[in-house]
Each structure stands twice: as structure tokens, then as C-alpha cells.
Amino acid sequence: MATWKVTVNDHACEGKETCLDVCPTDVFQMRPTTVRNPFFPFKIKVRGGIQAVPVDEAACIGCMECVTACPDKAITVEATVGAGGA
């Protein structure tokens, strides 16, 4: 059975919440960023320092709506093979 690995690039996500709006299974939540870098994008700071975090990858159905909707191109979704094989 295929499962999905959902990754958000924390150096690209500007916290625009489009992934939350389009995800049919609520994989994402907005949380304070953990990036501590002097070159941290100012836009992220302006948006309150929050970013999308995949908190429920098991719920992902691989529809790729988040990947398509993200204006920052910060999300990747990759198929993985579960322990039981595919």
C-alpha cells in the first residue's frame, strides 16, 4: 500500500495558508517557524512567523492539491511503499 511523504521547505514557505484551504484531509497546521537564520526571509516574519507543518501525513491521499496551490512552491509530496509492500 502506498503512503505519502509530505515535506514543507521551511526556507520557502511564507505562511500563506493555501495548503490548509485546499487539503481535503487536514494534513497541515500553521505553527511558529523554527528557522533561526539571519537570512530568514523577511516576508515570513511579516506574516507572523508562522509556516505550514504536515502534522498528519497518514491522512494524506496524494491528491497533490497542496503542491499545486502553494504559491511559494514549498511543498513536495512523494509516494512511499508501506511496510506491507505495494
Does some domain include residue 25? yes
Give the separation between CA 74 and CA 78, rounded to whole angstroms: 13
Q: What is the DSSP string of 12-70?
A: T-----HHHHH-TT--EEEEE-----TT--HHHHHTTSEEEEE--GGG-----HHHHH-
pLDDT in tens, 18-75: 999 999 999 999 998 776 665 666 666 666 778 899 999 999 999 999 999 999 999 9
Give the CATH number for residue 61. Answer: 3.30.70.20
User: How much is the mean pLDDT over the chain?
Assistant: 86
pTM for the structure as a whole: 0.81
Does some domain include residue 86? no
Per the structure, the complete domain to which residue 57 belongs is given by 2-78
Does some domain include residue 70? yes
Instruction: Count the domains in the chain.
Output: 1
